[in-house]
């Protein structure tokens, strides 16, 4: 009888340990956390054509529409929250936001600080100049004497800093364009996808042009380190690429040529795992 009692107590202790471990796993799950509160809070900045507001104040753009679709696939609402780009990791870790989804370049710094999705768009950092100056600055080397406006904490800032050129930091890439348009900075460095939507003929900055591309890069989405939402988003990216949803949304905002083949990425990952 004592032996049976001892075995029963041991079994109860084991079950209790397993239940505690399961509860702990649930507590560590970002997906469970987001689904429990019923919303996915997306950290963004004003960045056409990825995240920007329509006339009614609703957030639209390729990233905004994809984020809303992903939230729907999780069974939750989406909420967009503007952030200071330089504080994006702090906002994530403090759970003020659940994800950074804003044309974010997958730099070493980003991938070390966040749990990142697969890349989904190609991009570059490009130099913006007044149209009447562009002919005098045809290479990056020609621009050593210019004062650049760059978004704080951005890939554009990293490129200008690496060149050793003078720059002033502003809160957003849109502010960088304003600096050049106002003449308070000579040039700006912003994302090529943003430049295609915001400068040149037919835009609000017809007097500005994009000139030299300083690099090539890829966009990804960032979650808290260790988050299980990154794997869920990769699966969503693959499904939406294969059923045409991703391309349809991309065509709405003119970024379809920049899409990265998610089927090919999945095949590469599967081959690497074998």
Domain range annotation of the chain: 30-122+218-273, 125-215
Closest among 143, 263, 151, 153 to 213, alpha carbons compared: 143
CATH of 30-122+218-273, one of 1.10.540.10, 3.40.190.10, 3.40.50.10860, 3.90.1150.10: 3.40.190.10
> Is residue 204 pLDDT above 50, yes or no?
yes
> Is residue 7 pLDDT above 70, yes or no?
no
What rounded mean pLDDT belongs to the chain?
A: 91
> Is residue 12 pLDDT above 80, yes or no?
no
Tell me whether domains 30-122+218-273 and 125-215 share a fold: yes
Task: Say whether 212 sits in a helix, a strand or coil.
Answer: strand
Alpha helix (H) residue ranges in the chain: 2-28, 30-37, 62-74, 88-93, 108-113, 155-163, 173-182, 192-198, 229-242, 245-252, 262-273
- Look at residue 270 in the predicted model and tell me its pLDDT: 86
> Is residue 9 pLDDT above 80, yes or no?
no
- Look at residue 4 in the predicted model and tell me its pLDDT: 36
Q: Which residues contact 76 (CB under 8 A, 6 or more apart)?
A: 34, 35, 37, 38, 39, 40
Cis preceding linkage at 102, omega within 30: no
* Residue-wise burial string across 120-135, b where 16 or more C-beta atoms lie within 10 A, e elsewhere: bbbbbbbbbbeeeebe
- CB 102 within 8 Å of CB 120: no
- What average pLDDT does this structure show over 205-223? 96
**CB half-sphere exposure, 229, CA atoms < 13 A:** 29
Report residue 18's pLDDT band, with 50, 70 and 90 as the boundaries: very low
- What average pLDDT does this structure show over 94-111? 96
Alpha helix (H) residue ranges in 75-221: 88-93, 108-113, 155-163, 173-182, 192-198
The better pLDDT of the pair 193, 269 is held by: 193
pLDDT tens-place string over residues 143-189: 999 999 999 999 999 999 999 999 999 999 999 999 999 999 999 99
Distances (CA, A) of 259 to 182, 220, 233: 33, 11, 16
Task: Say whether 154 sits in a helix, a strand or coil.
Answer: coil
Q: Torsion-angle region of residue 190: left (phi > 0), alpha (psi -120 to 50) or beta?
A: beta
**Token digits for 24?**
């702990």
Whole-number Å distance between alpha carbons of 75 and 68: 11
Q: What is the pTM of this model?
A: 0.83
- Look at residue 274 in the predicted model and tell me its pLDDT: 80
- What average pLDDT does this structure show over 121-130? 97
- Look at residue 93 in the predicted model and tell me its pLDDT: 96
CATH 3.40.190.10 corresponds to the domain 125-215: yes
Phi and psi at residue 185, to the nearest 5°: -135, 150
């Amino acid at each position: 009888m004592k032996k049976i009692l001892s075995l029963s107590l041991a079994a109860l202790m084991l079950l209790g340990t397993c239940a505690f471990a399961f509860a702990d796993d649930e507590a560590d799950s970002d997906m469970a956390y987001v689904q429990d509160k019923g919303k996915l809070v997306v950290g963004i900045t004003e960045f056409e054509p990825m995240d920007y507001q329509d006339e009614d104040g609703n957030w639209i753009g390729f990233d905004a529409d994809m984020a809303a679709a992903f939230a729907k696939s999780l069974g939750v609402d989406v909420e967009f929250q503007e952030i200071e780009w330089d504080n994006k990791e702090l906002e994530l870790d403090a759970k003020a936001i659940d994800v950074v989804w804003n044309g974010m370049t997958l730099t070493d710094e980003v991938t070390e600080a966040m749990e990142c999705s697969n890349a989904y768009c190609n991009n570059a950092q490009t130099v913006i100049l007044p149209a009447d100056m562009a002919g005098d600055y045809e290479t990056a080397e020609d621009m050593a004497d210019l004062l650049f406006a760059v978004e704080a904490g951005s890939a554009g800032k990293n490129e200008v800093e690496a060149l050793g050129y003078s720059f002033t930091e502003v809160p957003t890439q849109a502010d960088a364009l304003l600096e050049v348009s106002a003449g308070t900075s000579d040039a700006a460095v912003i994302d090529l996808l943003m430049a295609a939507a915001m400068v040149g003929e037919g835009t609000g900055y017809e007097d500005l042009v994009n000139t030299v591309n300083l690099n090539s890069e890829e966009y990804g989405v960032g979650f808290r380190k260790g988050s299980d939402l990154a794997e869920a988003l990769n699966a969503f990216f693959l499904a939406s690429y294969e059923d045409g949803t991703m391309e349809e949304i991309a065509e709405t905002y003119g970024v379809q040529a920049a899409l990265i083949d998610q089927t090919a990425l999945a095949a590469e990952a599967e081959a690497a795992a074998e």
